């Protein structure tokens, strides 16, 4: 079981490309028709240099371009089948647009046992910077591990 000793542990940075085709596929999947995400003219009129990404897309970028998106679970010896997503937070500091190259630096910031050890909550935060070194966002996910309770 994951314990407090995991807090502070860092994982290798993930470098992700904001590609137009993948963004369009994401928008199509969600029925997203907002022109700001689809039309370069609308994006420019809204003050963007290129198409911006929807608010949750940072999460996808990190998973898509990670060599193994579940590597942190493997590293912590957690079975993917026992994991649920508990909470998710994004803090935005600067625009992220098509053509950007982002670097995610994930680290564990919290481990909490719940229900007498039946569940463990693990918080993974990532600082996100772009190709110009601008700190564009911070992400935080809380995963819930359903522990195997042995009697």
Partner 1 sequence: MSAAAEIHPAVGARLVYKQFPPITRHTLALYCGASGDHNPMHVDLDFARAAGFPDVFAHGMLVMAYLGQALTDAVPPAAIRAFSVRFAAITGLGAELTCEGHVAELIAGKDERRARLALTTTDQNGEVKLAGDAIIVL
Tokens 């359903």: give the residue. Answer: 146
Please report, for residues 61, 119, 149, the alpha-carbon distance to residue 115 in angstroms, rounded to integers and kept in the order given: 33, 6, 11
Q: Fill in the DSSP letter of residue 10.
A: B
Q: How far is the CB of 43 from partner 1 (least distance, A)?
A: 9
| For partner 1, the closer CB: 26 or 111 | 26
Q: How far is the CB of 27 from partner 1 (least distance, A)?
A: 9
Q: Fill in the DSSP letter of residue 68.
A: S
Q: Show the tokens assigned to 96.
A: 């992220």
Q: Show the tokens assigned to 97.
A: 């647009």
20-30 vs 57-65: helix crossing angle, rounded to 10: 130
In the region spanning residues 52 to 111, those forming contacts with partner 1, defined by CB under 8 A, are: 52, 54-57, 59-66, 69-70, 80-82, 84-92, 95
Contact (CB, 8 A) for 121 and 112: yes
| For partner 1, the closer CB: 2 or 141 | 141
The answer to whether residue 42 forms part of the interface with partner 1 (CB under 8 A) is: yes
For 59, the 3-state DSSP assignment is helix
Q: How far is the CB of 73 from partner 1 (least distance, A)?
A: 10
Number of residues that bind partner 1 (CB under 8 A): 44
| For partner 1, the closer CB: 5 or 115 | 115
Contact (CB, 8 A) for 104 and 138: no
| For partner 1, the closer CB: 3 or 76 | 76
Residues contributing to the site for partner 1 (CB under 8 A): 22, 25-26, 28-32, 34, 36, 42, 45-48, 52, 54-57, 59-66, 69-70, 80-82, 84-92, 95, 140
């Amino acid at each position: 079981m994951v314990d407090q000793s995991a807090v502070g542990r860092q994982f290798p940075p993930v470098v992700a490309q904001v590609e137009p085709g993948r963004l369009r596929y994401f928008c199509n999947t969600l029925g997203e028709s907002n022109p700001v995400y689809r039309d370069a003219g609308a994006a420019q009129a809204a003050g963007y240099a290129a198409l911006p990404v929807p608010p949750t897309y940072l999460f996808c970028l990190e998973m898509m371009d990670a060599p193994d998106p579940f590597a942190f679970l493997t590293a912590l010896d957690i079975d993917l089948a026992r994991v649920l997503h508990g909470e998710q937070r994004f803090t935005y500091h600067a625009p992220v647009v098509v053509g950007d190259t982002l670097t995610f630096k994930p680290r564990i910031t919290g481990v909490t046992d719940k229900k007498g050890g039946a569940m463990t909550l693990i918080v993974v935060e990532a600082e996100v910077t772009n190709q110009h070194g601008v700190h564009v966002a911070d992400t935080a996910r809380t995963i819930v591990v359903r522990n195997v309770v042995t009697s």
